[in-house]
Amino acid sequence: MKPPQRAQGATILYLDPSLRSHQGHHANVGEAITSAARAQEHRVHVAVSQSKSDVCEGEKVFSRNVYSDMKRNPDRLIDRIRLKMATATVCKEVRPLLRRIQPNLIYANSVNAVVCEGILQALRTTYLPGRAPFLIAELPFRCEPGPRHFYGQQLAAMFRRLKRSAARQNTAVASNPLDRFAPITVDQQTASLLAQTVDAEIGVLPSPYAVRTRRQLVAGQPPQPLRIGSVGHQRESKGFHYLPAIFETLSNLKNSIQWVVQHQNDSDPTTLEKLRQMQSQGFQIELIDEELTRDAYEQLLLGLDIILLPYKPEHYQSMISGICYEGLSQGNIVVAPRHTSVGKIIGEFQPLSPQFDEWTVDSISTALDAAIDSAASLNAAAIQGASLFAQAHGPDAFASAIASKAVDDVAFKAF
């Protein structure tokens, strides 16, 4: 029998239970992946939170709050019962999708154990052995135990249950979901930590970001004033409270720097008051407090020469930063903590960009001062690095990587 010719188009089911709006990193990643997959002639169906806004693409499916489930301790009986009920809810919500869409591949973005296991249960109860679509699930969070979440512990418990189930089931009458399940995360450091936590192999595939316009190289010295931005959701672990002191440390450059600070209503009021006082003292500080549209946010990033990420290094040992990825994608100079997952990816695509070693005003200011001093050459290197980043981790490369599983499934089912 002659093998069938490989099919060119596949059906991909893109799931993101936390996607509620057309703004933010979840929306950006979703747009990047789905647009690239469609450009490669794959059919894509998107399923998101039931509380999504009408302008956000996607079918309203998921009722669970992914982040609240992470607070449940799987070692406590009552939490274990609640987690089991939440998993059953996800299974119930996903199963009709599988029957209606008949996907060749499922990509689940930014999920926890509850969503992951719920999808796997839906696959096991919907398909005959060996016929389930491939599931790629991105597991993005820190694995270290913390007082506010039990993400790693929940995943470890999930893998133990799946392995026990696979060991005792009759493969002739039941599908083993682990055979067609690929858990991934965005960098090797996080993957290694997560693999140790769950005793399973974790793949690495950095999330892409949609970039419609990349910064262009302009010959000569960088423009004056130099625009340096701290953007995104501000909180203490991101060093927001350090900004006034950093600006003050570099006060000798205040006439040649335009500071741009995006903040929210819940940002630290003491820090905001200090920044407003510095505005009255002659510092060029632009405070942006309104919720930006997708296009306005992109224009904000494009207008920055340097993105400052004064993040707490201990917090980002195995955490990613969407703003970091956006800066690398668009060709901004990015200054961040060196010995972190964030610093590692910057070192790969912007090896000359200065980073800081300690979470202190002096260390952060020293790195930023060096970036300002070499802005012209670093700008050229950052724009070149953006092209390399797009080739390695851009939407097209990402969509090709995940869709290969879907195309294989089309060919497999054609026999």
Task: Give the pLDDT of residue 54.
Answer: 67
Q: Residue 120 above 60 pLDDT?
A: yes
The most confident of the ranges 145-149, 251-255, 283-287 is: 283-287
Q: How would residue 411 be classed by pLDDT, with cut points 50, 70 and 90?
A: very low
Per-residue model confidence (pLDDT) at position 8: 63
**Predicted local distance difference test score (pLDDT) of residue 53:** 74
Residue 321 has pLDDT above 50, yes or no: yes
What's the CA gap between 333 and 377, in Å, rounded? 10
Q: Are strands 181-185 and 257-262 parallel, antiparallel or unpaired?
A: unpaired
pTM of the model: 0.84
Q: What is the mean pLDDT of residues 135-156?
A: 76
7/49: higher pLDDT? 49
Considering the chain, tell me which residue range(s) the CATH 3.40.50.11930 domain(s) occupy: 11-208+394-413
- On average, the pLDDT of the chain sits at 86
Lowest mean pLDDT, pick from 63-77, 144-158, 262-276, 318-332: 144-158
Lowest mean pLDDT among 87-101, 103-117, 216-230, 370-384: 216-230
Percent of the chain with pLDDT over 90: 49
Q: What is the mean pLDDT of residues 149-177?
A: 77
Q: What is the pLDDT of residue 224?
A: 77
Q: What is the 3-state secondary structure (H, E, C) of the chain?
A: CCCCCCCCCCEEEEEECCCCCCCCHHHHHHHHHHHHHHHCCCEEEEEEECCCCCCCCCEEEECCCHHHHCCCCCCCHHHHHHHHHHHHHHHHHHHHHHHHHCCCEEEECCCCHHHHHHHHHHHHHHCCCCCCCEEEEECCCCCCCCCCCCHHHHHHHHHHHHHHHHHHCCCCCCCCHHHHEEEEECCHHHHHHHHHHHCCCCEECCCCCCCCCCCCCCCCCCCCCEEEEECCCCCHHHCHHHHHHHHHHCHHHHHHEEEEEECCCCCCHHHHHHHHHHHHCCCCEEEECCCCCHHHHHHHHHCCCEEECCCCHHHHCCCCCHHHHHHHHHCCEEECECCCHHHHHHHHHCCCCCCECCCCHHHHHHHHHHHHHCHHHHHHHHHHHHHHHHHHHCHHHHHHHHHHHHHHHHHHHCC
Over residues 214-221, the mean pLDDT reads: 63
User: Is residue 225 very low, low, confident or very high in pLDDT (cuts 50, 70, 90)?
Assistant: confident
Angle at Cα 334 formed by Cα 16 and Cα 397, nearest 5°?
A: 45
**CATH architecture for segment(s) 226-392:** 3-Layer(aba) Sandwich (3.40)
Q: Where in the chain is the domain with CATH 3.40.50.2000?
A: 226-392
* Fold held by 11-208+394-413: Rossmann fold (3.40.50)
Confidence check: pLDDT of 334 > 80 = yes
Starting at the edge strand found earlier in the chain, the sheet holding 181-185 runs: 59-62, 43-49, 11-16, 105-108, 134-138, 181-185, 203-204
Q: Among 52-56, 180-184, 186-190, where is mean pLDDT lowest? A: 52-56
Which residues, other chains included, contact 84 with Cβ-Cβ below 8 Å and sequence gap of 6+?
Answer: none
258 has a pLDDT exceeding 90 = yes
329 vs 382: CA distance, rounded Å? 9
pLDDT of 268 strictly over 90:
no
The pLDDT value given to residue 415? 40
Average pLDDT of the residues in 308-317: 90
